[in-house]
Structure 1
Amino acid sequence: MSSHPEFLRSKFHGLLHDQIRHEFDAEHQYIAIAVWFDNADLPQLAKHFYAQAVEERNHVMMIVQYFLDRDISVELSGIDAAKSHFENVREPTALAFAQEKNVTEQIVQLASTAREEGDYLGEQFMQWFMKEQMEEAANMTTLLTIADRAGSNLFDLEDFVAREMSGPSDASGAPSTAGGSI
């Protein structure tokens, strides 16, 4: 370890640094969605999105730990405003789906860039994120499909979320989290 950590060492590290902001933006948006569901008296959907927000926070802290382990400085920037007002249950669900599709593209780009640059440690680090992102995108696809099927019958949607989407997530093989996972 050097006594003067570098800020960025490569294009991959630059993109990974940007990903910190993307993950914080996702956390912020999921909190806004959870609050909207909570305010609409949809506790299962609210609980689901509060948990999603915590997952995004933990992703940030995994990236922070990666930078700490590689002796690379971390700078935290601001986050974007979250959308907080929705017309119906489908709207925040569709926003979450679109967000997960976007994050999937970002993660694939990160893994691809690490590979192009011959950063095998970076590429290996991104493997867990790719697996995790596939699961996240699939879950949001399912949730959006079920929301569409349920239509105005929100009891069925709440029941589905409670029954099918409230189990513990598989964190096996997850990278270390700076400060510990919450």
Structure 2
Amino acid sequence: MQSKKMQDAFNDQIQAEMASAYLYLAMAAYCEGKNLKGFGHWLRAQYNEEVGHAMKMFDFVIERGGQVVLKSIEAPAADFGSPLAVFEKVLAHEQQITARINSLYELALAEKDYASQIFLQWFITEQVEEEGSAGEIIEKMKMAGDKGNALVWIDKELGKR
């Protein structure tokens, strides 16, 4: 059985994961509207990952005998400025999610909720990957610049995800 405090924290994180998905879908729409289909493809894949993360937590709460309470999600922005700005926002957002996951893990430690600690290890590892991936794309984009052949190449590479 999961404590009420832990259940509430997981419900908050489910909301954050769904908000992340919604943000990435908005970013995909922005990029695809700029004819950057590869960027859009990468961001749609990210959207699907975030929904998957939310559902893992959803299932975990239920499996532990808890109750999932879905919360509202704010509409994300529709304009992101440039492809580089999109990925800088992706990295900043993933860093926020990392901080949230770390706080959730700290709560699991304080609550002596060993099952949640073990469960959250996967998310901690996943966040290292998420931040690394976004950082790598940003570095390539900074080297390439926001326009020209290099941006088209990056778009093509991201479309392979």
> How many equivalent pairs are there?
161
Cα distance in 1, alignment partners of residues 148 and 12 from structure 2: 37
**Alignment TM-score, normalising by the size of structure 1:** 0.82
Cα distance in 2, alignment partners of residues 96 and 74 from structure 1: 27
Number of the residue aligned with 2:103: 109
Cα distance in 1, alignment partners of residues 160 and 106 from structure 2: 32
For residues 37-76 of structure 1, what are the structure 2 equivalents within 5 Å?
Answer: 37-76=31-70
Runs of 4+ in 1 over 3 A off after TM superposition: 160-167
Number of the residue aligned with 2:9: 15
**Alignment TM-score, normalising by the size of structure 2:** 0.92
Number of the residue aligned with 1:97: 91
**Which range is displaced more, 133-142 or 12-21?**
12-21
RMSD value, Cα: 1.8
Cα distance in 2, alignment partners of residues 156 and 82 from structure 1: 28
Cα distance in 1, alignment partners of residues 105 and 81 from structure 2: 37
Q: 1:33 aligns with which of 27, 44, 55?
A: 27
Alpha carbons 2:84, 2:146 under 8 Å: kept: no
Shift in CA distance, 36/150, structure 1 to aligned 2, threshold 3 Å: same
- Structure 1 unpaired stretches of 5+: 1-5, 168-182
1:165 Cα deviation after fit: 7.7
Percent identity over the alignment? 25
- Structure 2 unpaired stretches of 5+: none
Cα distance in 1, alignment partners of residues 63 and 122 from structure 2: 17
